[in-house]
């Protein structure tokens, strides 16, 4: 099992998880976005938050 130092989760207005990213030692280790939510800027928002 993979572990990360920080896990950041994005939810929609219905509290459904639509994306998440994990960071470890100031590095992005994972970024997953629900296929239905791609192209809406959620990944960009997560990255900005993580920086």
Give the model's pLDDT for residue 3: 80
Residues of the chain with pLDDT under 70: 1-2
34/10 Cα distance (integer angstroms):
10
Q: Which CATH number fits domain 6-50: 2.70.98.40, 3.30.470.20, 1.10.3720.10, 3.40.630.30?
A: 3.40.630.30
Entry pTM:
0.82
Give the model's pLDDT for residue 1: 59
39/8 Cα distance (integer angstroms):
19
SS (H, E, C) the chain: CCCCCEEEEEECCCCCEEEEEEEECCEEEEEEECHHHCCCCHHHHHHHHHC
Give the model's pLDDT for residue 51: 78
Q: So where are the chain's domains? A: 6-50
């Amino acid at each position: 099992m993979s572990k990360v130092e920080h896990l950041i989760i994005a939810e929609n207005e219905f509290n459904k998880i639509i994306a998440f990213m994990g960071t470890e030692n100031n590095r992005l280790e994972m970024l997953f976005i629900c296929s239905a939510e791609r192209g809406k800027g959620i990944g960009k928002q997560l990255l900005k938050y993580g920086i």
